[in-house]
Amino acid sequence: MASETSGEAVGMPQLDFSTFPNQIFWLVVSLVVVYFIVSKVILPRIGGVLEERHSVISDYISQAADFKKQAEQAEADYEAALAQARGEAQAIAAETKAEIQVELNKAVAKADAEIAAKTAESEKAIAVVRESAVENVREVALATTAGIVAALMPSVSDDAAVKKAVTARMKG
Amino acid sequence: MAAEEHAEGATLNIHPMDQFQIHSLFGDGPVHWYTPTNVTLWLFIAVAAIVLLMVIATRGRNVVPSRGQSVAEMIYSFVRGMIVDITGEGGLKYFPYIMTLFLLILFTNVLGLLPYSFTVTSHIAVTGVLAMAVFTAVTLLGFIKNGTKFLKIFWISEAPLVLRPILAIIEIISYFVRPVSHSIRLAGNMMAGHAVIKVFAGFAAVLAAGTPLGVGLVAPIVAIMAVYGLELLVVVIQAYVFTILTCVYLNDALHPGH
């Protein structure tokens, strides 16, 4: 390679040792500058940003967990309120039913009493009617018997005996 | 590359290595150690780009990041994750220097892909200093942290006893080759890709003149596009490789038992 001398480059410029001090000097200068910038500015800044982002995200996650807990709490409260309302409604229904039952019982008792009174009255009326009917039958029987006896055996007509016989017969 | 230069003739006048030349920015004087050169310029542009992305784009410190800030955060998390994965939490003490290495290599690599730019990391003087710094620091750190126990990395206690001296020699050689491979891998990758692009560009010039209506131009341009895409990948991967190897070496110094 080094034998080629035409053109501007003499062999490999990489092997031209006369430029080495220059390259090394400027490389070291750049390295020091970049090292300074990296260690003083770049790493603290980006490290800080990443850390902050991490903490912001975990904050949001814990906030979300809080909200979820609140939502669950609200649901539980709602369920509890619903159950209470249902219980109250049932209690009111039972109470109302009991009141109605009491009034119903009262009404039934009154009605029963009235019915009993009417029945007693009717029975009394029936007894009166029956008694008068028996009396009528006895009179008819007496008259009929007396007639039959007078017609069949006029000689032995005796009102007292007839009366006595008819009464005995009716009792039997 | 030697082949290309031998192939130079009257029509093929390609200088793929010109782009790596170092020259003074002001005037044509000799390059002293303090002379501002194109190395200085592109290193400073890289530093400016680092400041732009990592400092100015993150100045809002937003919890919901802007586009620039999220790129900066991605680089931060990427390098930090790499250190923690390889060396454990103990390696985070060296996070600033590893981040410095990664940013400077990444930005000089990527900026080197701009047309007419200069790739600082294509020079072994630069990558050699970076690798030797890592090598020296890691070796010193190994002895400071572990004393003579650091030598255990050469003595493979899992291997059968007879093999251990042989393995130790191999391990010692490979240990001292580390800075060489570490630096040449980066410089070689940068140099080769850029030189290839330049060679294709030379072909394009020749074919444009030598074919009717310059239609021959299409093939080299397509080739340049393909190589350029590959190079975009390579420059990022090489920055990553340099950094991850630094972490691996650091891990040896922190935990020589493994």
Distances (CA, A) of B184 to A25, B20, B240: 20, 15, 15
What is the average per-residue pLDDT within A46-51?
A: 93
Residue B13 with chain A: CB contacts under 8 Å: 7
B23 CB within 8 Å of a chain A CB: no
- Tell me: the pLDDT tens digits for A6-29? 345 557 888 888 889 999 999 999
Name the residue of chain B whose CA is nearest to A25's CA: B33
Q: Cβ B125–A38 below 8 Å, yes or no?
A: no
B169 contact A CB<8A: no
Within 8 A of A20 by CB-CB distance, chain B residues are: 125
A69: exposed, middle or buried (Cβ count in 10 Å: 0-12, 13-18, 19+): exposed
User: What are φ and ψ of residue B9, in 5° steps?
Assistant: -135, -155
Q: What residues of A are in contact with residue B55 (Cβ under 8 Å)?
A: 37, 41-42, 45
Contact B159, B170 (CB under 8 A): no
Q: Is the pLDDT of residue B255 over 50?
A: yes
Of A13, A39, A53, the CB nearest to B63: A53
Mean pLDDT of B244-251: 95
B100 Cβ under 8 Å from any chain A Cβ: yes
Chain A interface residues facing chain B, Cβ-Cβ under 8 Å?
1, 4, 6-9, 11-14, 16, 18-31, 33-35, 37-39, 41-43, 45-50, 52-53, 56
DSSP B136-189: HHHHHHHHHHHGGGGGGGGS-TTS-GGGHHHHHHHHHHHHHHHHHHHHHHHHHH
Burial B189-201 (b: 16+ CB within 10 A, else e): bbbebbbbbbbbb
pLDDT at B191: 92
Query: How many residues in chain B?
Result: 258
Would you call B24 helix, strand, or coil by DSSP?
A: strand
Neighbours of B114 (CB within 10 A): 11
Q: Which of A21, A35, A46 sits opposite B100 (nearest CB)?
A: A35
**Residues of chain A with C-beta less than 8 angstroms from the C-beta of B31:** 18-19, 22
- Indicate the residue of B35, B62, B125 with minimum beta-carbon distance to A20: B125
Taking only the tens place, the pLDDT of each residue in B27-85 is 777 888 888 999 999 999 999 999 999 999 999 888 888 899 999 999 999 999 999 99
Q: Which two tokens stand for residue B63?
A: 């919890």
Contact map slice: B 171-210 vs A, CB within 8 A? 187, 191
Instruction: Give residue B167's Cα distance to chain centre.
Output: 30
> Would residue A28 count as lying in a domain?
yes
A9: in domain: no
**Which candidate in A6, A17, A22, A56 is best for mutational testing of the B interface (most B CBs within 10 A)?**
A22
Give the pLDDT score at B44. Answer: 95
DSSP state of B214: G
pLDDT at A104: 95
With vertex at residue A73, the alpha carbon angle to CA A67 and CA A78, rounded to the nearest 5 degrees, is 125
What range does the domain containing A158 cover?
17-171
Give the number of A-B residue pairs with CB atoms closer than 8 Å: 140
Task: HSE, CB side, 13 Å, CA atoms: give it for residue B85.
Answer: 10
Least trusted range by pLDDT, from A71-85, A147-161, B36-50, B175-189: A147-161
Cα dihedral value B151, B157, B158, B160, nearest 10: 120
**B258 has a pLDDT exceeding 90:** no
Tally of domains within chain A: 1
Domain-wise residue ranges, chain B: 19-254
A27/B126 Cα distance (integer angstroms): 7
What the block records as the tokens of B120 is 């600082």
